[in-house]
Amino acid sequence: MALLKVKFNQKKRVKLAQGLWLMNWFSVFAGILVFSMGLFLKIELRKRSEVMDNSESHFVPNSLILMGILSCAFNGFAGKICYDSLDPAKFAKWKPLLKPYLALCFFFNILLFFVALICFLMRGSLESTLAQGLKNGMKFYRDTDTPGRCFMKKTIDMLQIEFKCCGNSGFKDWFEIQWISNRYLDFSSKEVKDRIKSNVDGRYLVDGVPFSCCNPSSPRPCIQYQVTNNSAHYSYDYQTEELNLWRRGCREALLHYYSSMMSSMGAVVLLVWLFEMSVMVGLRLLHTSLESIANPEDPECESEGWILENSLKDTLKSALESLKKMGKFNQVEAGAEAAEGEEGGKTPAITTVS
């Protein structure tokens, strides 16, 4: 029994073809939207590529760009088929291509669904990329005189100001690295010498943070040095005081920014996928309804359209049988080739009689 069998007359076929033509052009615009989202996400990721450890995060925007291009191509082609299906003479040239085209559409929709899921599942990979990238970026913060790294200070400062964050996981991350360049340290000072000597790696570590960690909304002047020293500031308790530094780490801020963006894009791609599936189902109904016309010379006669010629169970069963036959055929061919090779390798024995 055919799956989702529907009876059509000429009027219904024309309405279906016209509706599908319109839906295909809507799908072209949806493809442009998916392409634009991928391009926007790629630009946003490139803006902060200095604080990202690898290029794996670009898999999502690249996939969106590719799916957007494919969507425009497939739906533009389908629109042409639907338009020509109103004329039997024009439709005849598309008939042999429809089955392969529908198979391609099926795989395209699987890929589109996969890309939508990836948009929701990239959070873990993005978090590790940001964690390592920010860690490396903070290490190079002081290298304002080193070619290739001189921009890192500005990048980190602008990032902390824009996203209202401080450090990787929090402001204490700055206590663990030397973020002040040796160029601005007075090595004749006892304090500087003592701090460098007290550190195993010979680094100048302070319980301070860059100015970009300061919260301008705080009524108190920013305390960015000796943050944990209560005696260094009037009426100040490090443990209880509401510090005038950004509390949130930049990894969390960026992760929230990109994750919410990709989740929104994933929801849009899912909607596009549902629309694409409905177009594919409609195109399959149009294809089968036109193929099942009993008398091609009488376009007004009734016909039947369906999604699958047999039930879903029977279709899967026949597909598995076809795959098994293909496997057996390949085994037979391989065996025959091996036998031919063995025969070719044998040399006939020649007996001489004297």
Rounded Cα distance, 292 and 7, in Å: 10
Indicate whether 221 and 75 sit together in one domain.
Answer: no
Secondary structure of 119-174 in the HEC alphabet? HHHCHHHHHHHHHHHHHHHHHCCCCCCCCCCCCHHHHHHHHHHHHCCCCCCCHHHH
Assess whether pLDDT exceeds 60 at residue 354: no
Q: Which domain holds residue 234?
A: 171-247
| Rounded mean pLDDT, 77-101 | 79
- The DSSP element (H or E) to which 107 belongs, if any, is helix 95-121
pLDDT digits (tens, 9 = 90+) for 27-69: 999 999 999 999 999 999 998 888 887 766 788 999 999 999 9
More confident residue, 296 or 60: 60
pLDDT of residue 2: 57
Domain end residue (candidates: 223, 247, 271): 247
**86, 21 contact by CB (below 8 A):** no
pLDDT of residue 146: 80
For residue 194, is it within any domain? yes
Indicate whether 132 and 260 sit together in one domain.
Answer: yes
For residue 317, is it within any domain? no
Indicate whether 111 and 225 sit together in one domain.
Answer: no
How many domains in the chain? 2
Indicate whether 17 and 131 sit together in one domain.
Answer: yes
For residue 148, is it within any domain? no
pLDDT of residue 336: 60
Indicate whether 243 and 284 sit together in one domain.
Answer: no
For residue 240, is it within any domain? yes
Average of per-residue pLDDT values in the chain? 82
Indicate whether 22 and 129 sit together in one domain.
Answer: yes
Which of 5-14, 73-82, 137-146 has the lowest average pLDDT? 5-14
For residue 179, is it within any domain? yes
pLDDT digits (tens, 9 = 90+) for 231-271: 888 888 777 666 788 989 999 999 999 999 999 999 999 99
Assess whether pLDDT exceeds 80 at residue 325: no
Q: Residue holding tokens 């100040």?
A: 236
More confident residue, 321 or 76: 76
Q: Which amino acid is it at 126?
A: L
Indicate whether 123 and 10 sit together in one domain.
Answer: yes
pLDDT of residue 117: 94
Indicate whether 214 and 258 sit together in one domain.
Answer: no
Instruction: Give the confidence band of 296 by pLDDT, cuts at 50, 70, 90.
Output: low
- The DSSP element (H or E) to which 279 belongs, if any, is helix 250-291
pLDDT of residue 262: 92
Indicate whether 126 and 66 sit together in one domain.
Answer: yes
Which one-letter DSSP state was computed for residue 241? S
| Rounded mean pLDDT, 212-236 | 86
Which of 74-83, 94-103, 164-173 has the lowest average pLDDT? 94-103
Strands (E), 274-317: 303-305
pLDDT of residue 353: 46
| Rounded mean pLDDT, 299-311 | 67
Q: What percent of the chain has pLDDT over 90?
A: 34
For residue 144, is it within any domain? no
Assess whether pLDDT exceeds 60 at residue 349: no
For residue 147, is it within any domain? no
Indicate whether 101 and 228 sit together in one domain.
Answer: no
pLDDT of residue 194: 86
